[in-house]
Amino acid sequence: MVRAAVLPAVGAPLDVTEIDLPEPGPGQVRVRLAAAGVCHSDLSLSDGTLRQPVPAVLGHEGAGTVVSVGEGVREHAPGDPVVLNWAPSCGDCHFCAVLAEPWLCPHANAATTVPYARTRGGEDLYPGLSSAAFAEETVVSSRSLLPLPAGVPLTEAALLGCAALTGYGAVHHSARVREGESVAVFGAGGVGLAALQSARLAGAGTVIAVDVSPAKEELARRAGADAFVLASETTAKEIRALTGGHGADVAVECVGRGETIRTAWNSTRRGGRTTVVGIGGKEEQVRLSALEIFHFARTLTGCVYGNCDPARDLPVLAEHVRGGRLDLAALVTERIGLEGIPAAFEAMLAGRGGRALVVFGDEPARR
């Protein structure tokens, strides 16, 4: 038995309880979690914005240590430090093998529909985004794990599994920020703070953070923002004033609301680029006129998992961490236990904080 935060039904409160976790089967690995980040995607799964079979153990941004491996697993061994990969690509489909775009693999979340554990009452449990990281231990496919390079703090390494990769990829792979360009990041949560740091890594010129909460300004500036704009009806005008009257070269939207996406679009210069990272519901609509699409010649781009190949990009981020250029701890605004997840969800809804990090037991924070 291990303790976990169980979502019994869509929209229901999380239940912190013990679950029956089996030993790993063929091709599977059992992992003891050191930490798990509380991501907005987990909130979207819990409220039904994103689909998830229930009852389920949510949580997909995690890092820990291999406990045991199933038959046929050769790439991982007990004691190995690992990062969860919530979207493991199959390697064989059109997107993986032909287009080399593994972040679009249609099979990446196949494990979410397969029971992986049971409740104390014997009911099947499903793994949120193939990971089930809101638990002391989890069992996942060996493809859902990435080796953690040496020299990276194990606890903070959880953020490499989603926030850091997504923010980094949005800047470097999707928006393709060039040295000297101005960048406006909308939303200073975990992903947004990672995007701000990544804009600095890319050599951006003016870096602007936008958020609805004035309390986020200090966090944003520590992450590399030169300026902070409190979201309002004049946001686009303020960003133009900060960028020579033209607008930002690049806007990165990390909120997932129609209104915010529209404002990000309005904030970019003619010929500028807007990358949408935030995941919104299908009821969130963005309306653009045919004339403005022609006139402004801007690019509006979606972004999945930062358009990252985790196996390729995680070592790059790890090197930035070791070199002091990427500060994972700066993304964390609160360290909590499993019981603190509902409050972290409430903070997200209220626009407070950066990334809450669930820290388990006495797992060593550094290697």
Tokens (6 digits) for 207: 């870096």
Indicate whether 79 pLDDT > 70. Answer: yes
pLDDT at 88: 95
Give pLDDT, residue 354. Answer: 81
Mean pLDDT within 27-40: 97
pLDDT band at 134; cut points 50, 70, 90: very high
Strands 355-359, 15-20: parallel, antiparallel or unpaired by DSSP? unpaired
Crossing angle between the packed helical segments 235-242 and 258-267, to the nearest 10 degrees: 30
- The sheet with strand 268-276 has its strands ordered as 227-230, 207-211, 183-186, 248-253, 268-276, 299-302
CA–CA gap between residue 217 and residue 152 (Å, rounded): 27
> How many C-alpha atoms does 124 have within 13 Å on its Cβ side?
9
Domain(s) of CATH 3.40.50.720: residues in the chain = 176-302
Banded pLDDT at 352 (limits 50, 70, 90): confident
Residue 362: its pLDDT value, please?
Answer: 53
Q: What's the CA gap between 324 and 190, in Å, rounded?
A: 18
Give the CATH H-level superfamily of domain 176-302.
NAD(P)-binding Rossmann-like Domain (3.40.50.720)
Length of the chain: 367
Residue 280 has pLDDT above 90, yes or no: no
The mean per-residue pLDDT over the stretch 317-336 comes to 95
Share of the chain above pLDDT 70, in %: 98
Q: What is the DSSP string of 283-330?
A: T------HHHHHHH--EEEE-SGGG--HHHHHHHHHHHHHTTSS-SGG
User: In this predicted structure, what is the pLDDT of residue 214?
Assistant: 94
- The pairing of beta strand 56-57 with beta strand 2-7: antiparallel
- Buried residues in 82-119 as b, exposed as e (16+ CB within 10 A): bbbbbbbbeeebebbeeeeebbbbeebbebbeeebbeb
β strands within the chain, DSSP E = 2-7, 15-20, 28-38, 56-57, 61-69, 81-84, 117-119, 124-127, 137-141, 145-147, 183-186, 207-211, 227-230, 248-253, 268-276, 299-302, 332-336, 355-359
265 has a pLDDT exceeding 80: yes
Cis amide leading into 214 (omega within 30):
no
- CATH 3.90.180.10, the chain: domain bounds: 2-163+307-359
Fold of 2-163+307-359: Quinone Oxidoreductase; Chain A, domain 1 (3.90.180)
Comparing 300 with 361, the larger pLDDT belongs to 300
Q: Model confidence at 349, in pLDDT bands (50, 70, 90)? A: confident
pLDDT for 258 beyond 90? yes
Is-contact 25 356, C-beta < 8 A?
no
pLDDT digits (tens, 9 = 90+) for 216-252: 999 999 999 999 999 999 999 999 999 999 999 999 9
* pLDDT greater than 80 at residue 366: no
Mean pLDDT of all residues in the chain?
Answer: 94
Q: What is the mean pLDDT of residues 153-166?
A: 96
